[in-house]
Amino acid sequence: MMPTARQQKTSEKLRIFSERFKAALERSNFHFQDNEIAEKVGVEPSAISNWRQGRNMAKGKNLRRLAEVLNCRTGWLLGGKEDEAADVLHRGHTPHGKDTWQQRALAAEKKLAQLRKGLWNLLETSDGLPPPQETLGASSLAAPGATGPETVRARG
C-alpha cells in the first residue's frame, strides 16, 4: 500500500529533523552520550535516540531547549534555511516589527532559568536559610507556623 501524501510529508519532516539534529551535534563538537544530552535538554535518553533515528522529533519547550543546548535555531532544526531564521532572530522581531509568541516564550523561559539559578546560588551561599523576616516585610512568604507581627499582617 502506498503512503498517503500526509504520511510522506511527515516522514520527510522527521528525516530532515534527524539530519539537522545530528549535524548540529557534530557542529557543536558534542561528544556526549544520549543520556548526557537528555539531561541537558530535560528529556529521557530514549527521546534523544528517537530523534537521532528519525522516529519522532522535538516539539515545544523540548525543541527550544535542544536548540539552546546545540546553539542553533529551532527553525533550522525543523528544516528552515539558516540565514532566514538568523535574520529574524538577529533583529528579534518579525518582518512586521512584532515579536512572535515563540520568541517571547523563549525569552521568558531563559529569564525563568536565570531566576532559578540565582535563587539556587542565593540558597547555597546562605546555607539554605531564608532571609530574616524583616527583609520580607508584610510578604506572604512567611514560614508556615510563624507567629510574628509580620506574619499576622500577611495572613490577615
The more confident residue out of 83 and 123 is 123
Average pLDDT, the chain: 75
Contact present, 140 and 154 (Cβ < 8 Å): yes
Domain ranges of the chain: 10-91, 100-128
Q: How confident is the model at residue 139 (pLDDT cuts 50, 70, 90)?
A: very low
Contact present, 37 and 30 (Cβ < 8 Å): yes
Q: Which CATH class is domain 10-91?
A: mainly alpha
Q: Answer yes or no: pTM beyond 0.85.
A: no
pLDDT of residue 144 exceeding 60, the answer is no
3-state secondary structure of 36: helix
The whole-angstrom separation of Cα 19 and Cα 78 is 10
Proportion of the chain above pLDDT 90, given as a percent: 29
Each residue of 84-112: pLDDT tens digit?
444 334 434 444 445 677 777 777 888 88
DSSP per-residue letters across 70-130: HTS-HHHHTT--HHHHHHHHHHTS-TTS---HHHHHHHHHHHHHHHHHHHHHHHHHTTTPP
The whole-angstrom separation of Cα 68 and Cα 74 is 9
> What pLDDT, on a 0 to 100 scale, did the predictor assign at position 62?
95
